[in-house]
Copies of this chain bind each other. A is one copy, B any other.
Amino acid sequence: MVDFVADYHRDIESFPVRSQVKPGYLRPLLPDSAPAEPETVEDVFADLWSKILPGITHWQSPKFFGYYPCNVSTAGMLGEMLCGGLNVNGFSWITSPAATELETIVLDWLGKLLHLPEEFLSTSGKGGGVIQGTASEAVLVVMLAARKRALKQVSSAAQGMSEAEALSKLVVYSSDQTHSCVIKACQVASIATENFRPLPTDASTNFALSPAVVRKAIAADVEAGLIPFFLCGTLGTTSSAAVDPLEELGDIAKEYGMWYHIDAAYAGNACICPEFRHYLNGVEKADSYNMNPHKWLLTNFDCSTLWMKDSEFLLAALSNKPVFLRNEATDNNLVVDYKDWQIPLGRRFRALKLWMVMRLYGTSGLQSFIRSHVSSAKHFESLVRADSRFEVMAPMTFSLVCFRLRTLPGSQDTSNSLNSKLVDALNRKGNILVTHTELSGIYTVRFAVGATHTELQHVQAAWEVIQAEANHLLNGKQ
């Protein structure tokens, strides 16, 4: 299997980046039921090459520029292998002390690398970090903690409001660029959909939240008797890597006693470089902060790191103590049991891979990795800007370039349909993979540099592929 994986990575550029199969391709290729008797490893490998790989979209291809990246590294892979080999279930400290303690220590390491305020580190006594599977889970658990805190505040204010009534009045604020995980967290946590405020953004703020818009929305809700309780700022939105004004949002959250969370799933990783750290200013005003080393810090999926200043309400929201899990270390409050910091009970030893990545790359290696992608993305942006048929749709801050093809005068195509055709054609041919978004209703091509093996040459080649496809599209119309 090591050879298979090595061969796969060696040959990865030979595959179309986006799988070219049609829905339902696999069922006719496989038996209807499990084999009664054991098959050989050779049978399985044969099927991997012939039946599974054609259905893979190659996130690890250096020609993958879609979504945000999903990094892999030998260090991360070694950590995954060890995690699988030990296969411990570290839900409580006692069930494998190293799993809990290494996670706490490594999250402190990474927190220091990000210059998070001391309160976010475990050494503060009240705060600390935890590895979640995804940013969706990170946002959900902090929203549950915030809900617990808000309901307690409402009930202690003795306003004679039932918990059910209070729950129906809780309001969540974020920008309309915020990741869909925020509304999903609302769906799960019974925050009424009509109480989720995806506040409008536009090009005038580079698609970042405007503090004035936030204040206005909150004032209207308070006037209407609602209860603002959760504000999510984003550092590096999914559509355009926009950066919300984190400091001003922190002031607003404080003024209204709201939980303030910062989601930096992608761009937070860049903040390990001093030249990017200023984007994180304002984190000192946040209650919680998450980013995903599995996106852009060489750590195999899944690994979403979450820090908070005070775990009190998280524990109040999520902990329970069944008798079959009781043990001396827990009963005496000597340890952290991460089961109470997350939705699942069971948990993998994910700290191993993050620890190995941090050691085998060193801070300098991780910073070089980020800088290399940023530099390639800058080069790509300059190429787009140099071709007058294209325009850049949002400032390039990290390693995401948002652009589109302009329409020609007299063209039948709207800009949206033209660019949609461009993306479809690129992905269908499979030489590169890009994805799209809409910015103020404008269909926009997203080009995210971040796959582990992507170098300047791949970005240069990708631009040539895009230009060729543009030539084809535009000439076809003329």
Contact = CB atoms under 8 A, between A and B. Distances in A.
Contacts of A300: 84, 87
A383 interface: no
A57 B113 contact: no
A256 interface: no
A14 interface: no
A359 B164 contact: no
Interface stretch (A89-97, A206-214, A390-398, A456-464): A89-97
Given A344-B133, A346-B301, A437 B323 contact: yes
A70 B52 contact: no
A320 B87 contact: no
Report how many copies the assembly holds.
Answer: 2
Interface string A93-137: 111111101100100111011000000000000000000011111
Given A34-B359, A86-B8, A181-B345, A101 B24 contact: yes
A144 B140 CA distance: 14
B27 A105 contact: yes
Contacts of A84: 5, 72, 76-77, 80-81, 300
A26 B335 CA distance: 12
A30 B352 CA distance: 14
Contact of A343 (B58, B59, B343, B365): B343
B34 A345 contact: no
A302 B346 contact: yes
A5 to B, nearest CB: 3
Interface stretch (A183-191, A215-223, A228-236, A274-282): A183-191
A40 B352 CA distance: 15
B238 A322 contact: yes
Given A81-B1, A168-B163, A98 B26 contact: yes
B345 A136 contact: yes
Given A60-B87, A96-B56, A5 B81 contact: yes
Interface stretch (A41-49, A152-160, A244-252, A371-379): A41-49
Nearest to A76: B84
Contacts of A140: 188, 343
Contact of A21 (B97, B179, B325): B97
A380 to B, nearest CB: 19
A348 B101 contact: no
Contact of A59 (B87, B144, B163, B183): B87
Contacts of A165: 164
A52 B239 contact: no
Contacts of A102: 26, 52, 55
A334 B23 CA distance: 7
Contact of A105 (B26, B76, B88, B345): B26
A76 B87 CA distance: 11
B435 A324 contact: yes
A446 interface: yes
Nearest to A324: B437
A465 interface: no
Contacts of A360: 38-41, 44
A318 interface: yes
A3 B137 CA distance: 34
A164 B164 CA distance: 6
Contacts of A32: 108, 112
A6 B328 CA distance: 33
Contact of A180 (B88, B96, B239, B345): B345
Given A34-B110, A37-B362, A180-B325, 4 more contacts: A34-B358, A44-B360, A133-B346, A238-B324
13 contacts: A32-B112, A33-B113, A38-B364, A40-B360, A44-B359, A59-B95, A81-B81, A87-B301, A133-B133, A163-B192, A184-B345, A187-B318, A301-B348
In order of increasing CB-CB distance, the 3 nearest A-B pairs are: A55-B98, A5-B85, A164-B168
